[in-house]
Amino acid sequence: MKKRVAIFISGSGSNMVRLVEDMADPDHPAEAVLVLANSADAGGLAKARALGVPTVSVDHRPFKGDRPAFEAALQTELDKVNPDILCLAGFMRVLTESFVAPWEGKMLNIHPSLLPKYKGLHTHARALEAGDAEHGCTVHMVTPLLDDGPILGQARVPVQDGDTPDTLAARVLPQEHRLYPACLRHFAAGDTSRIDL
Ligand code: GRF
């Protein structure tokens, strides 16, 4: 039986598209069963529909900061498709411990830095400010602590003279698109060996 995967997005969904395209391979151990966004305006929703994946949006704004109520609405949508694995792909809402705890060991995230460096936001600018020679991205298991769980894989890129946060982000994103599908394929097959690109 293929593992059922739900994917959470907030924006353009380029990582989501790579995950879904990779899962189109008949030999892939998983299948995409839902793409959920926290805004109906997320550009990735139309891309998911074009790839034949059911979509739904649960807008966080009407909940006015009531995280438990927002997360209950997320879980209600997940219960409808009963996924085995949850992938966060550019999902920009921080999930609370009460939502994460039941999903621990089954939820993955991609973060645009070489964790444990630069948890949180503005990772490219912070790597430049620190004068780092290399930067990259990380796929990790999600735990209640932000950007903190066990690492499944990392991809590294050189920081070049004259780099700006935008040029660095543009060098990291294609690596994200290679790393996340590779890590999900491994994870869904039960292979927890680390991937380094
Ligand atoms: C990616 O850089 C991801 O690492 C970060 O948000 C960006 C989203 O990209 N969390 P996309 O929505 O997958 O195109």
pLDDT value for 86: 98
Write out residues with Cβ below 6 Å of ligand 1. Answer: 9, 11-16, 89-90, 110-112, 173, 176
> Region 27-39: what's the mean pLDDT?
98
151 in Cβ contact with 186 (< 8 Å)? no
Task: Give the integer Cα–Cα distance in Å for 115 and 145.
Answer: 13
Q: How far is the CA of 177 from the centre of ligand 1 (A)?
A: 10
State yes or no: pLDDT of 192 exceeds 90.
no
Q: Give the three-state DSSP class for 14.
A: helix
User: Does residue 9 surpass a pLDDT of 90?
Assistant: yes
111 catalytic per annotation: yes
Structure tokens at 170: 């543009």
pLDDT > 90? residue 13:
yes
Model confidence pLDDT, tens digit, residues 40-91: 999 999 999 999 999 999 999 999 999 999 999 999 999 999 999 999 999 9
Ligand 1 atom index nearest CA of 15:
13
User: What pLDDT, on a 0 to 100 scale, did the predictor assign at position 118?
Assistant: 98
Residue whose CA lies nearest to ligand 1 atom number 8: 90
Q: What is the DSSP string of 75-93?
A: HHHHHHH--SEEEESS--S
User: What's the pLDDT score for residue 186?
Assistant: 98
Question: 14 C-alpha to center of ligand 1: Å?
Answer: 7
Tell if the pTM clears 0.85, that is, is over it.
yes
pLDDT (tens digit, 9 = 90+) per residue, 94-141?
999 999 999 999 999 999 999 999 999 999 999 999 999 999 999 999
Tell me the average pLDDT across 180-191: 98
Atom of ligand 1 nearest to the CA of 12: 12
